[in-house]
Chains A and B, each alone.
Chain A
């Protein structure tokens, strides 16, 4: 195997490795959609709002919206 062949093989190996890293597995669920960052708890919301000195928005809702 000459130097050029070795180089080509190395480039091919690198390319396929990079592609494998970029492509998500077919069965993997997607990352979550972009979202408002809702607080998980009321205590956490109050702590964050008081420390950051920002207002709290509460949506009171039922059903599918």
Chain B
């Protein structure tokens, strides 16, 4: 199945209408080196947009649905909440797989959001969350701001929450810088203010840090 159905062009196109998860337990197959956004990365040869570490991690998902021994591969189809709708055992040729997609889509009623519309908002949000975890606040602010302007309310709310959290971090750092200034620890204050200016420049705290740095520079010049 991995070698015939998954790389099939019609299958790839059609799966934009669903969400796909690879629950693949081992990594005894090859990985490949590819370029993504100008950066060399290693990707799985079977599931080429993710790494083997990714599908090893999501291998736990299959065990939520299958208990005990099973004959691989098994295709499990769930509704949007993760509740199983049906499953198929064994290899699925492209035609059979496409019929499964149609069957699954037919069982989920209501209006849908396209993958491209979702990604426009979800990708900046995910990148912002990762950047915030790594302390890369400038990138995080940019991503959260983009995601907060999208039309999907759930993602907008997550983006606003993320942005608020970063604002609090920036304001906390600014308070520390001001405290350092008040107690004449000017070098420490200057370092903090430079950090806030560079990482939080798009926020009020960043602009205030910039103004304080300018004032510090002017005071230094007059001495």
A31 and B23 CA atoms in complex are apart in Å by 24
A31 to B20, CA, bound (A): 21
Contact A37 B115 (CB under 8 A): yes
Residues 5-55 of A at the B interface (beta carbon under 8 Å): 28-42, 44-55
Docked Cα-Cα span, A48 to B65, in Å, equals 20
Residues of A in contact, count (CB < 8 Å): 37
Do the beta carbons of B7 and A38 come within 8 Å of each other? no
A61–B23 contact, CB under 8 A?
yes
A55 in contact with B34 (CB, 8 Å): no
Which chain B residues numbered 59 to 86 have a C-beta less than 8 Å away from chain A? 60-62, 65-66, 70, 72-82, 85
B32 shortest CB reach to chain A, Å: 7
**Min CB distance, B173 to chain A, in Å?**
30
Interchain CB contact (< 8 A) of B73 among A48, A55, A61: A61
Minimum CB–CB distance from A34 to chain B (whole Å) comes to 6
Q: Which residue numbers of B lie inside 8 Å of A, CB to CB?
A: 1-3, 6-7, 9, 11-12, 15-26, 28-29, 32-36, 40, 43, 46-50, 54-55, 57-58, 60-62, 65-66, 70, 72-82, 85, 100-101, 104-105, 107-108, 110-115, 118, 122, 126, 152, 154-155
Instruction: Given contacts A29-B32, A38-B20, A38-B21, list 11 more A-B pairs with CB under 8 A.
Output: A33-B34, A34-B7, A35-B47, A38-B22, A38-B47, A38-B50, A55-B79, A59-B22, A60-B62, A60-B73, A63-B29
**Complex A-B, nearest 3 residue pairs according to Cβ-Cβ distance, in ascending order:** A65-B2, A60-B62, A32-B34
